[in-house]
Amino acid sequence: TSLSLSQFLRRQQVLQLYRKILRAIREVPAEEDRRYLKDWAREEFRRNKDATEEDAIRMMITQGNMQLQELQRTLKLAKS
């Protein structure tokens, strides 16, 4: 099955978010925390991979971005 343009673009957004989250997790100093966060992120994306409802997907992307920003803020505070 081929994706429509909007589905393709949405998929790119999701993949970009996933990569950004994993990149941010690499900055976490404690290995145990890194492993926990990586497993959590992987599980969240896996659990929602079959979502097709456009509004639900948009909402999940927004939530993911907010969680990413929170993680980045926390890491920045920890470094200062």
* Residue 19: per-residue pLDDT: 98
Query: What digits encode the pLDDT tens for the residues 41-74?
Result: 999 999 999 999 999 999 999 999 999 999 999 9
What is the structure's pLDDT at 27?
95
Secondary structure element (H or E) that encloses residue 80, with its range: none
What is the domain count for the chain?
1
Report the chain's mean pLDDT, rounded to a whole number: 95
Which structural domain range is residue 74 located in? 5-79
pLDDT grade, residue 1 (50/70/90)? confident
